[in-house]
Structure 1
Amino acid sequence: MRGLDYRWLEALDHVISYGGFEPAANSLCITQSAVSQRIKQLEKLAAKPVLIRGSPPIATPTGQQLLGLYRRVMLLESEVLPDIVGINDNERVTVSLATNADSLATWLLPALSPLMDQQLIELDLLVDNELLTLDKLKSGEAIAAISSEPKSLASCQSDFLGYMEYICVCSPEFYQRFFSDGLEKTSICRAPAVVFDKFDPLHAEFLQYHFDAPPDSWRSHLVRSSEAFITMAKLGVSYASVPTLMAAKDIENGSLINMCPGKSLHRPLYWQRFNAESGILRRVSETCIQYARQALIQKK
């Protein structure tokens, strides 16, 4: 974009990151009026609003794209400039990744931990349904996304990670309460389940495939936490479709049981990223892809 001043983008980034114009001004060591002026200049150039003024301010779609551009440029600078002007060991690199909650709860953090130690990475993890994480890459909010979508965006590439296997679990007491007469369509629709949100079709797919139970025939709690699924199941207040990776230890020690052995669902996952990767961005992608392919099922 011709005429773009990166100080304007820096101001936008700080307003969003710090939650307002005054804290952004303090972090940049300039006046609040100067921050407002930079945002106005950016909006004049874009001919569109870049912020929804509120508490906190929210980036518009145009603002999100500009933030994505700015953050990718900052990452590239952090890779190139040390070789030119000398390495600053105290410089932190922020890496924004869009991930589904189940990957975050199982394999993603162990995959990234060596790079966090070696490169002083600061993670910005954007957690959403794996059907929606690709939107974060498209908007520029993330530099990579874990998605169930195999097709890559323009100027991006898609790498197959593996299949996340899901099973239905509950506590032994819950099983006796609801399934003492057998596990079948009527009993499983009567028992309370837990799902991530209204956009998550995984549990519905499981019941439809294995028990021919339509989506509107069973009860559920909405809880946006993978770890809470396990907790609720162990407390005996619901059953849940969870990754085998999460439930294995609790099944082994008897606090949870696999409600229907032999019945599972496999969700494919892909690592979506920009083609023009180098340095730490490439290492992040390569490390995560390699780790995921060891942790996830490669063939159904």
Structure 2
Amino acid sequence: MKPHNHKMFDYKLLQALDTVVKEQSFDRAAAALAITQSAISQRIKQLEEQVAQPLLIRSQPIEPTALGQKLLGHFRQVKQLEQELRQELFPSEPNQLLNVTIAVNADSLATWLIPAMGSLLSTHSIELNLLISHESHTLERIKQGKAFAAISNNQETLPGCIANKLGVMEYVLTATPGFKQKYFGKTVTSAKLRHAPAVAFDQKDDMHATYLSQHFQLLPGTYPCHTVRSSEAFVSLAVAGVAYCLIPRMQVQNELNEGLLVELTPRYKLKVPLYWHRWVLEKGVHKSISASVINYAKKHLF
């Protein structure tokens, strides 16, 4: 019998691909790897010849193709496992910082994620990198191989990943008593909402638009709406009495208790389920992070 011809990946070539994407330049990637620019170009070319497909879109910014993303995801998982294994095998070596990248929605970051990871960050040599995206877009970061885990409102798992439900985040439509009196009086109506300034996170934040469309039949663009890319600024704008906003109840519970803010539409509840997605090949610190996040969320989310 003829032996099967299994092609093995050359990790030097995958490292070149990863470095070019990270550095966004062939020159800088060559410097980072201490090789010439022609050598790094040759490595990328060799890898593309191996898979018979282009792996980079040579534009600004430099982007990996769909297959390039898959290869990068694989390479970064291997690097993560290698880093964890090195710490296990050589505990006497000076602890290198373990880079941990998580894709997170701004609301989770502003409310519960840091407390969920606090003790781990103080006891382990972790270099945390948080990629902030809307909860319906965070999974893209895992697909791209940029994050090992993501908090998402999507239940469906990606290939090579597992997911756990974290709980439900409840949102309330809120404003100051003075704002409510000025714009709405006793009842919130579609007509009144056309004149009251709202606030949304960014152009991808369709939560506010969906809420108004579902309950008040209002389309985006038919009411004034500020764009502010900060969950904390939502609270500041609301408390300042210059806008109303749809915000996690846990983020404004103190202000609601103190009467600084009031619920505008208590009969309309918005509950968003959240899931913790991560690579199936997790161990060591990454596994501890997952356990910590899941346990904390189950106690503090609905």
TM-score grouping bracket, smaller chain normalisation: 0.7 to 0.9
AA aligned opposite 2:87: P
- Is residue 93 of structure 1 aligned with residue 67 of structure 2? no
Q: What is the CA-CA distance between 1:76 and the residue it aligns to?
A: 0.4
- Is residue 153 of structure 1 aligned with residue 162 of structure 2? no
Counterpart in 2 of 1:126? 131
Identity over aligned pairs, percent: 41
2:283 and 2:49 map into 1 onto residues whose CA distance is: 33
1:238-257 equivalence runs, <5 A: 238-257=243-262
Question: Does the Cα contact within 8 Å between 2:102 and 2:148 map onto a contact in 1?
Answer: yes
CA offsets per residue over residues 145-173 of structure 1, 9 Å max, x none? 21112232334322110110101122344
1:5 and 1:87 map into 2 onto residues whose CA distance is: 30
2:236 and 2:49 map into 1 onto residues whose CA distance is: 50
1:23-62 equivalence runs, <5 A: 23-62=28-67
Counterpart in 2 of 1:12? 17
From the superposition, tell whether residues 164 and 274 of structure 1 become closer, same or farther in structure 2 (CA, over 3 Å). same
Q: What is the CA-CA distance between 1:129 and the residue it aligns to?
A: 1.8
From the superposition, tell whether residues 33 and 249 of structure 1 become closer, same or farther in structure 2 (CA, over 3 Å). farther
CA offsets per residue over residues 183-211 of structure 1, 9 Å max, x none? 223212321212234443322343345x4
2:8 and 2:100 map into 1 onto residues whose CA distance is: 27
CA offsets per residue over residues 271-300 of structure 1, 9 Å max, x none? 122333222221111111011112211xxx
AA aligned opposite 2:116: A
Counterpart in 2 of 1:213? 217
- Taking structure 1 as the reference length, the TM-score comes to 0.87
Question: Does the Cα contact within 8 Å between 1:8 and 1:42 map onto a contact in 2?
Answer: yes
Name segments (4+ residues, structure 1) moved above 6 Å: none
Question: Does the Cα contact within 8 Å between 2:169 and 2:248 map onto a contact in 1?
Answer: yes
2:66 and 2:166 map into 1 onto residues whose CA distance is: 29
The one of 55, 64, 79 aligned to 2:84: 79
Q: RMSD of aligned C-alpha atoms?
A: 2.4
Question: Does the Cα contact within 8 Å between 1:96 and 1:125 map onto a contact in 2?
Answer: yes
The one of 141, 145, 148 aligned to 1:140: 145
2:51 and 2:240 map into 1 onto residues whose CA distance is: 52
From the superposition, tell whether residues 125 and 59 of structure 1 become closer, same or farther in structure 2 (CA, over 3 Å). farther
AA aligned opposite 1:53: R
1:5 and 1:77 map into 2 onto residues whose CA distance is: 16
Counterpart in 1 of 2:273? 268
- Taking structure 2 as the reference length, the TM-score comes to 0.86
1:9 and 1:118 map into 2 onto residues whose CA distance is: 32
Question: Does the Cα contact within 8 Å between 1:65 and 1:141 map onto a contact in 2?
Answer: no
The one of 164, 186, 189 aligned to 2:191: 186
AA aligned opposite 1:106: T
Gaps of 5+ in 1: none
CA offsets per residue over residues 81-104 of structure 1, 9 Å max, x none? 333345433312222222212111
Counterpart in 1 of 2:121? 116
Q: How many residues align?
A: 296
